[in-house]
Structure formats: C-alpha cells, structure tokens
Amino acid sequence: MAKPNFCLFYFRKSSNFAAKIIHHIMSQSYSYLIPKLKQVEQAGIMVDRYEHAFPASVCGRERILPNYYLLLTHQGSTRVMYDMQEATLTPNTAVLVMPGHLIRFIDRTDDLVFSRLVIKPELFDEMLCLAFSHDVQKYHSHPAYILTDEQVGNMMKIMELLEIIAKHDEKEVPHRHQLLLTQMVVGYEFLNYYRSEQDKKQTDSSKAELLNRFCDLVVKHFRESREVKFYAEKLHFHPYYLTRAIREASGGISPVEWIEQYVITLAKKMIETSPDQPLTRIAYALGFTEPTSFYRYFKHATGITANEYRDRLKKERD
C-alpha cells in the first residue's frame, strides 16, 4: 500500500477544530476560484484550461493550496515562489503541486496559457494505493520539470478523458469512481516515467536537498514546534549546521524566518477568512499552547498585533 501523503496525515492527526479551520483558510486562499473549488469538492476532480491564466491581482500574495494541482504550461511564462524557492514555468513545464505548501505567483506574461487538473486529497490518496510508483515525496521538494511536445500531448489526452468521466455521476456511469481512479493511475504512472528520464540527467546539491527536506518537515510539524533544534534533530544535524546550510541554499533566509513566514501566512489567512473568530481559537489551531505566545509571535513577525491586523482588514472592507 502506498505511503500516505504527510500533509494529509498531519491534518488527520490534528484536533478536529484545527483541521477544519486550516482546511477552510486553505480553500479560501483563491476567493475568485471558490465556484471551481466547490466543483472539485463535489466531483472530486476538475480539468480546465486558462487562456488568460489568472488575474494579475493574484501575483505577489502567498497562498496555501488545499488540493493537488497538476499544471501543464502551453505558452507564455510565469515566475513562482514555491516554499521560498523561485522557479520560472515556461512552455511544456509540468508542475504537480501538493497540498500545504507555500506558493506565490510573482508575475506572468500576458500570453500565459496552461491546463490544470485539480484532485481532492482523499481521491489522490486512494489513487496512490492503486499506483505502482510510490515515490510521491519527490514532488514535494521538486514539483516542476520539463516535458517534450509529445509528452504534453499524451498528458492532455489523459486529462481530457478524466474530464469526460468527471462530468458524469454514478447514476449515468455506474463505475465512474473506478474509471476515475484507473485513469488517474495511468496519468500518474506516465508522469513518473517522464520524470524519471529527466531525473537521471540531474543531480541536486546536498544543501538544496536539505532545504527541501526541511520545508517538508515544517509543513508537517509546525504545530508541534517552531524551534530550529526540533527540526535539526529530525534531520540528524546540529542546529548551527542546519541554519548555515538553509541560509546558503535559500539565499540568506534562515530556518527561523521560514518557519515564521509559514505560520504567519496561515494566521493571516485565518484572520482574513474568519474575522469574527476569536484569536484564542486561532492560536490553539496553530499549535500555540498559550494565546499570549501567539500574540507575541505575531507582533514580532509583523510589527503589529493580531488585533491591529484584523482591525485594518475590517476598515479596508468597510
């Protein structure tokens, strides 16, 4: 059986309230896509094509996506930050984005066109149990790679079949669920095959790989600890070495800064999407044992209190 995705494992182990509120703010990260997110919730999967990509207003803000996203870029380009690492998506780039990671679109060209496959975490997990390739962890640290024209064409055919299946319900197609899973397995296996050919030609530096492992651990364990020592022990390194290696691999960003940015991004999204929610509940949902610790943490990171941040948002909306 496939190893479950660690982000999903984290949510299942979280408190019921924490899991619900974090999933809610992740779903609200792209408010202009809420109707499509509801479609994914109902059908389990969605395929669409963006001729003019996304609104320019999306650029510049960090987001945490709630589902699995497979993007295939057809023309134009966009620069993105994925867990503090910048990448440029050009034509024929395939990107498999996992839930729970920080992503920020920096900018895009006006002619950007890409196709998108969105899959609910539960459905993706079920597919993994049927797949032959179980090395899903590599997509957490390296989600993007280049395909050939032929490979993009093959992936588009698979996505088109998935779209056809998804448009029907179980009454119309009695074995719809099984057909979806089977087609998803085919797509996933081809993605892994195409990627394995490229991975053979690439080598990663040890410090870049360490950065990826560190980022993955933060996504999984940020509620348990925000201390560098905790993650250094998980990675079997001295905290001093981990700090130096992460700084070198990320262009000067320390482990403390990365953890802080991830937690504060979640906190801001919780405040934005649930402005009437007591800050104490948000503090507990983020893993703070005392609300006062969260208040200090927020002010240290942003320069203002969480209450002041919420008041600013209310004034902007009024």
Residues whose CB falls within 8 Å of the CB of residue 242, separated by 6 or more in sequence, listed in order: 210, 214, 228, 231, 232, 235, 255
Q: Answer whether 6's CB lies under 8 Å from 216's CB.
A: yes
User: What residue spans define the domains of the chain?
Assistant: 6-199, 206-317
pLDDT at 9: 33
pLDDT at 33: 53
User: What phi, psi does 167 have (nearest 5°)?
Assistant: -75, -10
**What count of other Cβ atoms lies within 10 Å of the Cβ of residue 274?**
16
pLDDT at 150: 95
pLDDT at 199: 67
User: What phi, psi does 135 have (nearest 5°)?
Assistant: -85, 60
Q: What are the beta bridge partners of residue 116?
A: 48, 71
Instruction: State the pTM of this model.
Output: 0.64
Q: Answer whether 302's CB lies under 8 Å from 264's CB.
A: yes
pLDDT at 94: 94
CATH number assigned to the domain covering 206-317? 1.10.10.60
Residues whose CB falls within 8 Å of the CB of residue 303, separated by 6 or more in sequence, listed in order: none
pLDDT at 143: 85
pLDDT at 2: 34
Mean pLDDT by 10 residues, the chain (318 residues): 33 43 48 61 80 60 82 91 82 89 84 91 90 77 87 94 88 88 94 80 64 85 93 92 87 88 88 88 93 94 92 81
Fold exhibited by the domain 6-199: Jelly Rolls (2.60.120)
**What count of other Cβ atoms lies within 10 Å of the Cβ of residue 129?**
13
Q: Answer whether 214's CB lies under 8 Å from 246's CB.
A: yes
pLDDT at 6: 31
Q: At what angle do helices 239-250 and 206-221 cross, to 10 degrees?
A: 110
SS3 track for the chain? CCCCCHHHHHHHHCCHHHHHHHHHHHHCCCHHHHHHHHHHHHHCEEEEEECCCCCHHHCCCEEECCCEEEEEEEECCEEEEECCEEEEECCCEEEEECCCCEEEEEEECCCCEEEEEEECHHHHHHHHHHCCCCCCHHHHHCCEEECCHHHHHHHHHHHHHHHHHHCCCCCCCCCHHHHHHHHHHHHHHHHHHHHHHHHCCCCCCHHHHHHHHHHHHHHHHCCCCCCHHHHHHHHCCCHHHHHHHHHHHHCCCCHHHHHHHHHHHHHHHHHHHCCCCCHHHHHHHCCCCCHHHHHHHHHHHHCCCHHHHHHHHHHHHC
Distances (CA, A) of 5 to 121, 122, 126: 9, 10, 11
Residues whose CB falls within 8 Å of the CB of residue 182, separated by 6 or more in sequence, listed in order: 130
How many angstroms separate the CA atoms of 298 and 242, rounded? 24
